[in-house]
Amino acid sequence: MKQCISIFFLVLFSTITVAQNNILYFENPKSKSVSFDFKLRNNLIIVPVQINESDTLNFILDTGLKTSLITKLPLKDSLMLKFAQKRTVKGLGTEGELDVYLSYGNKINMNGIKGDNFNFFIITDDKFDLSAELGMDIHGLIGADIFENFIVTINYSKNTLKFSSPESFKYLRRYLRQESFPLTMHKSKPYITLSFTNEKNVKSNVKLLIDSGSSDALWLFLTNNKNVILPDNKRYSFLGKGLSGKIFGYQGRVKAVQLGKYEMFNVTTSFPDSVSVSNTKTIDIIGRDGSIGAEFLRRFDLIIDYHNKKITFIKNHNYKDKFKFNMAGMEVGSVFGLLPIYAVTYLQENSPAYNAGIKLGDQIMKINGVDAYKYSVLEINGLMRTKDGKKIKINLMRNGKEKIITFRLKENL
């Protein structure tokens, strides 16, 4: 089971032709850049967006997304969205196609960045309501448009973003001493080539989508590269959500990932099964081997430069953090919107929580003597990946009866 629920939106518009007129500009014409803080939830970057002079909405900044998405409409009708005909999209997952609606000609404002003719796809299926998983209202994902219009500096160490005009941006001398790598662009999405070492000590290059919209470290597909193999120590699990439904596969580790002079070891890795990735055969560039996500990216500050087709990695204080999976075998989610009422939403067979008697749907009342409502959903799930051997005592409610169950976290991957 993964350390935290991944939000993984890899979108296919194979039968869709949409005019991309999403030209963005600074609200102040004299500005050469705009900077502001972002919120980090589950490794995901949350930015404030206004659409058609709406109230401020929360969007995930997603390098792995071509066309921006609205996944949750505000209760009040303040967006004044225009809809075109229904469209069909595909993505990672096991459940086939998904119906969406195209909204075109929208105005957006993102802390001084504006656009007058912005397109969104709107998902009306409530299973893509991400708010309960992140503990705050999430209204959508914003993708390639922001990166195509600006050079974007992501400072994970200070939770700040800087959007710079490509014409005025200059690489400071300290940036020139850092590691920069070429990007391969395909359908407005960035790919990078790096090397990994499998458990047979075979080193191989892999082409990966850079996906800030995935909270995991590394995803590798088992379809293209003969050196991408399942480790002996693995488990079959629910991996996350895609546009085509739930994604299942194996979790394990690769011995090492090398990116220029940077080398990281025992990297947590998901290997989605063939059914979950079947749509990627027509979604992605030929030869794609997987994705590199935010659990890896947050160890660096980044300069993402689509104009010069390169990305710069600057090591930060997160660099030495260990890569961890969930060690309880259970995930907890909010069951009534954003209210702090929590229940077990996923349970791994033969895990510490499972073997101790936890069941799906159990309502969490207390954790280690602390009322559950005093935690956020992310804090609860974070407790499940803290330390091998840590004791977890849970007071839960099942069928109107309170039970107390105790187990210890176990690092078995």
Kindly state the greatest CA–CA separation across the chain. Answer: 65
Q: In the chain, pLDDT over 90 holds for what percent of residues?
A: 63
pLDDT for the residue 382:
92
Rg (the chain; Cα; Å): 21
Contact 119, 273 (CB under 8 A): no
Average pLDDT of every residue of the chain: 87
Pick from 293, 279, 207, 223: which is nearest to 13 by CA? 279
Whole-structure pTM value: 0.88
Indicate the DSSP class of residue 27: S
374, 357 in Cβ contact below 8 A?
Answer: no
Where in the chain are all domains bearing CATH 2.40.70.10? 6-164, 173-315
pLDDT band at 248 (very low <50, low <70, confident <90, very high): confident
d(CA 52, CA 74): 13
Mean pLDDT, residues 120-136 taken together: 79
- Range 141-160 average pLDDT: 95
- The whole-number pLDDT of residue 247 equals 84
**The CATH number of domain 6-164 is 2.40.70.10:** yes
Amino acid in position 72: K
Computed from CA positions of residues 165, 166, 172, 174, in that sequence, does the dihedral angle turn out positive or negative? positive
Q: Look at residue 365 and tell me whether its pLDDT is greater than 90.
A: yes
User: In the chain, which residues fall in CATH 2.30.42.10?
Assistant: 330-408
Average pLDDT over residues 310-317: 95
What is the CATH topology of the domain spanning 173-315?
Answer: Cathepsin D, subunit A; domain 1 (2.40.70)
Instruction: Give the model confidence (pLDDT) of 65-101 as tens digits.
Output: 888 999 888 765 557 787 666 777 665 655 667 778 8
pLDDT band at 16 (very low <50, low <70, confident <90, very high): very low
Q: Does 47 have pLDDT greater than 50?
A: yes
Residue 279: predicted pLDDT: 57
pLDDT at 272 over 80: yes
Architecture of the domain defined by 330-408: Roll (2.30)
Q: What is the mean pLDDT of residues 15-24?
A: 56
pLDDT (average), residues 356-382: 94
- DSSP assignment string, 214-266: --SSEEE-SSS-TT----SS-EEEEEEEETTEEEEEEEEEEEEEEETTEEEEE
Is the per-residue pLDDT at 390 higher than 90?
yes
Q: Higher pLDDT residue, 255 or 172?
A: 255
